[in-house]
Amino acid sequence: MFHSYVFPISYAFLSFPFAALFFTIPFMVVQYRRHGYIHKIRAFVLYLFLLYLLNALFLVILPLPSSRHNPAMAGGALQLVPLNFIHDILKETSVVSSQPSTYLRLLTERAFLQVVFNVFLTVPFGMILRYYFRTGWKLSILLSFLLSLLFETTQLTGIFGIYDHPYRVFDVDDLITNTLGGLLGFLAAEWLSGLLPRIEHLDANIDRAAKRVTYTRRGIAFMADGIVWAMLLGILHILHISASFWVATGLYFMLVPWLTGGLTPGKWLVRIRLADGGERISLKSLVVRYGILYWLFFGVNRVLAGSLDTVPPILRMILGLIVFALNTVFFIHVVICVFKKEPQLFYEKWSKTRHVILWQPAAATEPEKKE
């Protein structure tokens, strides 16, 4: 019986790196916006939660039928009799009530182990609900029930219509045992809280405004800004605005941060802003900063790359080498700054600008609700 669990669990672990990669940027954005920074314990718990959900999902849906056109289940796809598992255990057991020496056999029998598995399936869910999300016992029971209902519905619908017929039974006993597991996990979370720091105390005595703005955080802002800037550039192209690259850069990276006190949509997303020596960043500082980066560095790249098709072969080779050298030097500079944790790139030093965390102290987090 245990062999049937190894296959889905191994698939869950193999899939985890891909799911984690997909999950990472949204996770980081939420952490930056809610907490102002990323705490290692908070990240560990959430990634552990993701791994748990993958394991639970694969244990529920795997193995899959060999074809989408699977036959209907001979015994029906619904089991709506509550506590029917007791009947199954009594029917299959080799335990003899008058012989205590046979009692331990129960621990190795399929029907009993199936019930134990269904209970333990949602114990981690209840633990994390209470420890990380700090839910009360009523909400933990409700969410555990809804998770189980989602699993059973997935089975009943053949993974929402992918398969012609259900390939596993919708069992009301699974709803009962999974919900019980969530409640047991909620109770066990008190023990877990003794092993790990209290989640509501992780941010105590943390001065978020004084923390260094990491290149990862800046990279997310850069990607978000790049998407919005590209949309603006496309609109200017459609409107036939001349020098649209230069105009879009000036509007988005100079005018917008000047009007918003150092914010762009990407920087707002991860709660950082640009600053210079004053309270609000000056237009002059922004023009120097982004003029060097976009109008000079990226602009030279754009002009040189655009000239490659219109010049003689020897000049094309020279221009290509210049573009390659410029980008190589810039790439090496960025890599060195990232690994040395140098907070400012060359254009930031020349413009005397920097990134700071935008954080307004919030009211103290309420203690866990008792219900």
Per-residue pLDDT of the chain (371 residues; tens, 9 = 90+): 556 677 788 888 889 888 888 899 999 999 999 888 888 888 999 999 999 999 999 999 988 888 999 998 888 889 899 999 998 888 888 888 888 888 888 888 888 989 999 999 999 999 999 999 999 999 999 999 999 999 999 999 999 999 999 999 999 999 999 999 999 999 999 887 778 788 878 887 778 777 889 999 999 999 999 999 999 999 999 998 888 999 999 999 999 999 999 999 999 999 999 998 777 899 999 999 999 999 888 888 777 766 656 667 787 788 778 888 888 999 999 999 988 888 789 999 999 999 999 876 544 344 444 44
Q: How high is the pLDDT of residue 366?
A: 44
Q: How high is the pLDDT of residue 365?
A: 42
Q: How high is the pLDDT of residue 369?
A: 46
Instruction: For residues 353 and 262, give the distance between their C-alpha atoms in angstroms, rounded to a whole number.
Output: 10
In this prediction the pTM is 0.78
Closest CA to 8 of 44, 53, 40: 53
With beta carbons less than 8 A apart as the criterion, state whether 221 and 272 touch: yes
Instruction: For residues 324 and 306, give the distance between their C-alpha atoms in angstroms, rounded to a whole number.
Output: 14
With beta carbons less than 8 A apart as the criterion, state whether 100 and 191 touch: no
Q: How high is the pLDDT of residue 367?
A: 45
